[in-house]
Amino acid sequence: MQLIEILWPALVLVILLVFIHSVFGLEIINRGVIFTDLAIGQVAAVGMAISIGFLEGEYQQILTLVFALLGALLITYATRKVEHIEAFIGMLYALGASSIMLLLASSPQGAELFQKLSATDILFTSPDEVYSAALLYVCVALVMFIVYPKTTGLTRELTFFSMLALTVTSSVQLAGVFVVFVLLVAPAFIALSQKRFTPLYLAWASGLFLSVLALVVSYYFDLPTGYSIIFFQSISVVIFSLFVYKRV
């Protein structure tokens, strides 16, 4: 009972993160722009770095959203204009990461803050943060399941990347850039590498199982929760690719 009382906010957050990120992850892999989420997350984190480094944490939500939308708009435009889109997205990620390091270079806690932006210890998630995330993710899910399938052309692109930016704005602050990346890619990768089960359902199932496992292991062994999630999700993809999945 005590364990449930301690872990329930983090557990609910994990469920929410896997639920919404699997939806985007399947689309991202099908589009062939794997590092889109990582780039948008890293650009969004620049807004957080500005807030933390220069404004004592003020306007963090607004700045994160502004930079996430900026990253999404740049990628939306680039998908129509740039030939080697993955290279462009990789450079956008590098720009975001280097910007954060330069912004936090003069801060005594610069390295610690950068690590926090990369992977947060979600064990300390508050109930209020969970409620806010749940409301946002439900709204995003409604758009993705009801509105997005009816759109075409530029409207479709803007809808997808703006919803992804909204999601990343919240999830980067709650979990960190790298956690967001693996939750987008790992469950979707496993789900799309087979034909027996419905991809979205399998992405939800595998992502949730591995994330909860990481959460429990990190709690009992006093390990960083964010990096535990990254480890379990990543190693599952490696094992599945090398020893389970057989290419036809």
pLDDT at residue 248 is higher than 60: no
Q: What is the pLDDT of residues 56-101, one digit of tens each?
A: 778 888 898 899 889 888 888 888 888 888 889 889 989 998 998 8
Residues 192 and 189: their CA atoms lie apart, in Å, by 5
What's the CATH class of domain 2-244? mainly alpha
Residue 18 confidence (pLDDT) = 96
Which tokens go with 44?
A: 């969004």
- pTM (predicted TM-score): 0.85
C-alpha angle 188/86/234, rounded to 5°?
A: 35
Q: Which residue has the higher pLDDT, 61 or 25?
A: 25
Confirm if 185 and 29 have CB atoms less than 8 A apart: yes
3-class DSSP state for residue 58?
coil
Residues 6+ positions from 48 with CB-CB distance below 8 Å: 60, 63, 64, 117, 172, 173
What is the rounded average pLDDT of the residues 13-33?
91
pLDDT at residue 2 is higher than 50: yes
Q: What is the pLDDT of residues 98-145, one digit of tens each?
A: 998 888 877 766 667 777 777 887 888 889 999 999 999 999 999 999
Residues 114 and 139: their CA atoms lie apart, in Å, by 30
Cα dihedral: 117, 73, 59, 48 (round 10): 10
What is the rounded average pLDDT of the residues 200-225?
93
**Single-letter amino acid, residue 106:** S
CA distances from 25 to 52, 56, 164 (A): 29, 33, 10
